Amino acid sequence: MTLRLLIINKFDSNKPSGNKLLHLKAQKTGSAQRIFNTSFATLICTVLLIMLSGETLFAHQKKEAVSRVIFNEHTVTIEVIHRFLLHDTEHASKRLFSKGNVSHNANVLQEYFVEYVGHQFSLKRLTAEVLPLTNIGFEVEGPYLWIYQETPLLPDIKRLIISHGALTEIWPEHVNLVNIERNKKVQSLVFKGSATEQEIIFETEK
Amino acid sequence: MILLATVTASFEASAISQTKGKFEDKFRQLDESLPTPNVYRNAAGEPGHRYWQQKVDYEIKATLDEKNRRLSGSENIHYQNNSPDTLKYLWLQLDQNRFNPQSMGNLSRTFSGVRDYKEGQWKNDSRKPAKINLNVLRKQQFEADTELGYHIQSVKSESGDELHFIINGTQMRVDLQAPIKSGQSVHISIDFAYNITEKDAVGGRSGYEHFPDDERKGGNDIFLIAQWFPRLAAYTDYEAWTNKEFLGSGEFTLEFGDYSLELTVPADHIVSSTGVLENPSEVLSKKQQQRLIKARTAKRPVYIVTEKEALSNEKSGTSKTKTWKFRAENVRDVAWASSRKFMWDAKGYQQGGDVQPLVMAMSFFPKEGNPLWEKYSTESVIHTLEVYSRFSFDYPYPVAQSVNGPVGGMEYPMITFNGPRTELQDDKTRTYSLTEKRFLIGVVIHEVGHIYFPMTVNSDERQWTWMDEGINSFIQSIAEREWDPGIPWKRGTFTNVIDYMKSEYQAPVMTQSDSLLQFGNNAYNKPAAALHILRETILGRELFDFAFKEYSERWMFKRPTPSDFFRTMEEASGVDLDWFWRGWFYSTDHVDISLDHVYQLRLDTNDPDIDFSRQREEDEIKPSSVSLARDKVEKRRFWVDLNKDVTDYYDKNDRFTVTNKERNSYKDFIDSLEDWEKTVFDRALKEDRHYYVLDFSNKGGLVMPIILGMTFTDGSTEEIRLPAEIWRRSPSNIRKLFVFEKELKQIEVDPNWETADVDIENNHYPRKIIKSRLQMFKSKEEDLLEERDLIQDSKTKLNIDSKKKK
């Protein structure tokens, strides 16, 4: 669970006239209620309390998840494959969704988690145009929960803005590594702590 | 040390690149990058003939103030200077100062993580609100409300004189009245106190956890006490005093010594500690003492403190105290845990041998851990000892403990903290999922495994995390597999490391602990994968296991550095592995070997009557020209057909016609051969083998053996393993000739997926279209069976059809 910090003013060293005090205002997020459907809204309201109830981070083994954003020229799609440790998703789901009147059923929690990731992860073109991600499904294989999404591969994608806040809002030390794979080249982004939106520029643009 | 590392890195880079051509020496001798062997650490990687290490003994009395969650204590320290140097002062580690808001660790934390590993990104939109985690605010509020860090009340000499000391962050220098020369010792005493941190609020590897819902008014706490007394910093032959600030990631660099502990806690608390309990008659009931004796030979764990006793304890409380006394010999640290919530089970592990024939495996846990803990914790401890001892040495201590508390997983000599819990259901029973069970077994194996590495093989955690976490994760995965090979353990897969190794966000394994970019992948998964590959693919089990055991035995109760590990593994296996350490530990290269071309060849006989005929056959199977085909369709009439009366020699012979000129030439060739040449030539012609030339490219940069799975047209298969040295003169591209009796149908590089090759699409001849994971998923059904809580789900009542019910 995260709170949003709104930037009230900004000091920019490149602009002499911008020499003003920087204020950060903590604001309880409303975005969660907006993005989730009604049943989720009830759940999210309880998240704040759950967050205060305990932290189960490993002492020295950091939590890490990996997402792959693959430009598949054969299928003319951008494939998104998220890989989370099943044990992480189980604990996160219980903390996010298990309070109130919601069932403890593991499969239901898994579906909630997949939906949660769907809201926490997004792709945009530089034009701020959201690339609609279709949820293909999810599966458990090995010690992981795999989540699959895809969107049509548009011909003129030169940059991508990627948002990823899954689990970092619960565990500050959680790291989401995103490998963007295009034409056999891999570029990486890392989402950790408060960094939830970043931009990737493909080589031809540099 | 930072400076040294920088100099080494730049030296290394200049040593293996050059200004002429593009040759990069992936097999450059590693010795020029390693410290020069000396009398303390020799070229074989074992302790030199004048190896030394300091010895520090402690007598510590401490009191837990439960109400105020404060620990106060006094320690008498006996410091034995075994170094050849004279010491004017002692440095101590004050790890609790790490929690002070003004610590270097706290002040150097950034808001958005790392930014500089890649140029040209991080264009955060400043119009977007940033986010802050509630846990971050909780931490800040706890730090604002609680005075954190040590209160050092006094530092005195043996005669009681106050000694001058200065505190620098997490380190404290104590100036001695007189220098201690080599071979001499000194006594000092320190009185200290600090407020215990709430683990869930500030993190770390110790602290208390509060249980507000317990029946006792005000609830109860579990206290996990570690990094709790001012400890001597290590003084070593390779660094002198350890002076790297405790920033939070790089753990501990410590000296061995003997400890005597007197821990005063509320009388209804149960204490688990490093060491042997010396006064059971004063802190346990007679019945509990009898149970402890019974547990030594029990087949399954025996409760020393039962669930009923623990529940009774946690409902009440007392103002009385008890003092638990422990003695620990030859350990590099001590930690302990205390709570009235603890139940305690134990089982003797009959290890045999002369070192510790009997080891007491024990677990301490609250009701929140059961029924999972009573079933698997102590048994997991024993399983760990059985497997790890096979790879290293007999477990050297009298006890091995697993304690449940707020810390997910942490290790100390003879004692580990492990976090798995069960879930309270509406029917008041407690259940757990399959993943939680795996977590418990896995984390107990991992943390108890740390009692071998680094608690006994005393590597420097502050600098090289992989030496304990990587090596330990490697053996952990073996122990997990030997528990149940049917479970998909996290450590037993290369999946993690492949995505990590091809990413841009990484640093070499040899990077100092606090500077690692992806801690888990860098310090745990990558070195563990490297060691698996070294064992299964490069050396083979026989050579690897001997060398690894040699390393463990050489450095048991001593302090190895990376060079000692690298040198021992080479020296004891008899295999030059410099390229392997360079690639896996000093670089960010990944494995991607591509099979680019396959050429099929046939040996010419030089006999024109055979070779010309073969050439004609090859020519005839080529497709005719499109123009000719279309001319025929159009029934075009050709000049030669219309003028058949005009012919010459060439109309009856083609360019493959053999004349005596060629036959004479062939005879001359045969006559010119030496006898042995003729024998070889004749045999080659008779066998008429299939010749193939394969082109490989190394796209990932990391040189590795090339493993080839060959399938022949008759359906038979063969595996060929080419050593990594094939890349030594041409690290990017190589070409290799193969000769077979049979014709090849297909080839696959790394058919068993044992080298962590990141791209399998280029591993095949003929090329295969490898479906992406997503595409494969689309074609199979979902499998959601793993995460079910079967214990809870099995209570579900069967819905009866309403019509039938009527």
pLDDT tens across the length of chain A (206 residues): 556 665 555 555 555 443 333 333 333 332 333 333 333 333 333 333 333 333 333 334 457 899 999 999 889 999 999 999 998 998 888 888 866 544 567 788 888 999 999 999 999 987 778 999 999 999 988 889 999 999 999 988 888 999 998 998 788 788 899 999 999 899 999 888 766 788 888 876 44
Q: With an 8 Å Cβ cutoff, are A165 and B773 in contact?
A: no
Write down the pLDDT at residue A48. 32
- Look up residue A64 and give its amino acid: E
What proportions of chain A, in percent to the nearest 5, are helix, strand and coil?
Answer: 25, 40, 35
Distance separating alpha carbons of residues B268 and B429, to the nearest angstrom:
26
Report the residue of chain B nearest A186, measured CA to CA: B503
- Look up residue B486 and give its amino acid: G
Neighbour tally for B631: CB within 10 Å: 13
Q: Which of A79, A142, A171 sits opposite B774 (nearest CB)?
A: A79
Q: With an 8 Å Cβ cutoff, are B203 and A206 in contact?
A: no
Cβ of residue B130 closer than 8 Å to a chain A Cβ: yes
Tally of residues, chain B: 806
B203-207, B266-270, B623-627: which has the highest mean pLDDT? Answer: B266-270
Which residues neighbour A128 within 8 Å (Cβ) at sequence distance 6 or greater? A161
Listed residue (B457, B462, B512) closest to B53, CA to CA: B457
Q: Which of A145, A188, A197 sits opposite B125 (nearest CB)?
A: A197
List, as ranges, residues 423-442 from B with C-beta within 8 Å of A. Answer: 423, 425, 433, 435-436, 438-439
Cβ of residue B638 closer than 8 Å to a chain A Cβ: no
Distance separating alpha carbons of residues B199 and A55, to the nearest angstrom:
8
Listed residue (B347, B319, B295, B286) closest to B67, CA to CA: B319
The predicted model gives B666-681 an average pLDDT of: 94
Q: With an 8 Å Cβ cutoff, are B408 and A195 in contact?
A: no
The residue with greater pLDDT, B294 or A125, is: B294
Token pair listed for A65: 């998840």
Cβ of residue B484 closer than 8 Å to a chain A Cβ: no
Write down the pLDDT at residue B771. 84
pLDDT tens-digit series, residues B1-30: 333 333 344 444 444 677 888 889 999 999
Q: Which of A56, A57, A60 to mutate to test the interface with B (most CBs of B within 10 A)?
A: A60
Write down the pLDDT at residue B488. 82
Write down the pLDDT at residue A60. 41
Cβ of residue B485 closer than 8 Å to a chain A Cβ: no
Write down the pLDDT at residue A5. 60
Residue listed under structure tokens 């989720």: A40
Residue B446: which pLDDT band, with cuts at 50, 70 and 90? Answer: very high
Distance separating alpha carbons of residues B719 and B709, to the nearest angstrom:
5
Q: With an 8 Å Cβ cutoff, are A187 and B500 in contact?
A: no
A151-165, B534-548, B761-775, B787-801: which has the highest mean pLDDT? Answer: B534-548
Cβ of residue B753 closer than 8 Å to a chain A Cβ: no
- DSSP 3-state of A95: helix
Where helices occur in chain A by DSSP H, the ranges are 31-35, 38-51, 86-97, 106-120
Q: With an 8 Å Cβ cutoff, are B134 and A104 in contact?
A: no
Burial (CB count <10 Å: 0-12, 13-18, 19+), residue B803: exposed
Q: With an 8 Å Cβ cutoff, are A168 and B133 in contact?
A: yes
Distance separating alpha carbons of residues B479 and B632, to the nearest angstrom:
74
Q: With an 8 Å Cβ cutoff, are A188 and B505 in contact?
A: yes
Where helices occur in A52-105 by DSSP H, the ranges are 86-97
Residue B786: which pLDDT band, with cuts at 50, 70 and 90? Answer: low
Q: With an 8 Å Cβ cutoff, are B433 and A106 in contact?
A: yes
pLDDT tens-digit series, residues B64-81: 999 999 999 999 999 999
Q: With an 8 Å Cβ cutoff, are B111 and A90 in contact?
A: no
The predicted model gives B169-196 an average pLDDT of: 98
The predicted model gives B640-663 an average pLDDT of: 91
CB < 8 Å to B488, chain A: 141-143
The predicted model gives B403-416 an average pLDDT of: 96
The helix (run of H) or strand (run of E) holding residue B232 is strand B231-232
Lowest mean pLDDT among A2-16, B190-204, B612-626: A2-16
C-alpha distances in Å from residue B528, one per residue of B42, B390, B515: 26, 18, 19
Question: Does the complex come out with an ipTM higher than 0.95?
Answer: no
Listed residue (B209, B271, B238, B214) closest to B47, CA to CA: B238
- Degrees to nearest 5, angle at CA B177 with B176 and B178: 90
**Would you say A2 and A169 are in contact if contact means Cβ atoms under 8 Å apart?**
yes
CB < 8 Å to A150, chain B: 774
Residue B531: which pLDDT band, with cuts at 50, 70 and 90? Answer: very high
Write down the pLDDT at residue A142. 83
Write down the pLDDT at residue B490. 72
Cβ of residue B715 closer than 8 Å to a chain A Cβ: no
Check the CA dihedral B134-B137-B141-B142 and report its sign. positive
CA distance to partner chain B, nearest, from residue A38 (Å) = 23
Pairing state between β B55-65 and B257-266: parallel
The predicted model gives B93-113 an average pLDDT of: 88
Distance separating alpha carbons of residues B458 and B468, to the nearest angstrom:
9
CB < 8 Å to B438, chain A: 87, 143
The helix (run of H) or strand (run of E) holding residue B545 is helix B541-554
DSSP secondary structure code for residue A101 in this structure:
T
CA distance to partner chain A, nearest, from residue B115 (Å) = 9
pTM here? 0.89
Q: With an 8 Å Cβ cutoff, are B787 and A199 in contact?
A: no
- Degrees to nearest 5, angle at CA B798 with B796 and B802: 140
CB < 8 Å to B125, chain A: 197
pLDDT tens-digit series, residues A144-169: 999 999 999 998 888 899 999 899 87
Q: With an 8 Å Cβ cutoff, are A60 and B205 in contact?
A: yes
Instruction: Calculate what percentage of chain B has a pLDDT beyond 70.
Output: 93
Q: With an 8 Å Cβ cutoff, are B503 and A72 in contact?
A: no
